[in-house]
Amino acid sequence: MTIGEAARASGVSAKMIRYYEETGLIPAAGRTGSGYRTYGPKEVQILRFVRRARDLGFPMEKVAELLALWRDRDRASADVRHLAEAQIAALDRRIREMQEMQATLSHLVRSCAGDDRPDCPILDDLGGHPGGPARTA
């Protein structure tokens, strides 16, 4: 199948397929005599694997590790579990950070009168100068 067909079948855009090939995450596709990439069911399965891992938030280097483990029939499931547990911890950290950002922004919004006056604690905070406009030297 063509790259467009592989993209539709896997849910990975053609642009990302090319990127994954360029970075070595997935093997380079076969080529027709005229240079077009060709993909089969095995490649689509790999692309689906990558997409699912990315959907779960795994960074590219961890996706590569997961792919290597997936291909290694002698792997220990403990190795896979360890990667998944580390990803859970990373997601927990990101969730906490986002909750902190939300709390800070909510506080700033409550502090803003939202009227016709130019005073704006949101902009003051973003400018790094609570209580007044940024000063330039």
Looking at residue 105, what is its pLDDT? Answer: 95
Q: Tell me the C-alpha to C-alpha distance, in Å, between residue 35 and each of 21, 29, 30, 89, 123.
A: 15, 10, 9, 44, 54
| Tokens at 73, concatenated | 């029939």
Write the pLDDT tens digit of every residue in 99-137: 999 999 999 999 999 899 888 999 999 998 765 555 555
Write the pLDDT tens digit of every residue in 41-100: 999 999 999 999 999 999 999 999 999 999 999 999 999 999 999 999 999 999 999 999
Please tell me the pTM assigned to this model: 0.80
Which run of H or E residues covers position 94?
Answer: helix 77-111
CATH code at 1-58: 1.10.1660.10
Q: What is the mean pLDDT of the chain?
A: 93
- Domain assignments of the chain as residue spans, ordered by start: 1-58, 76-137
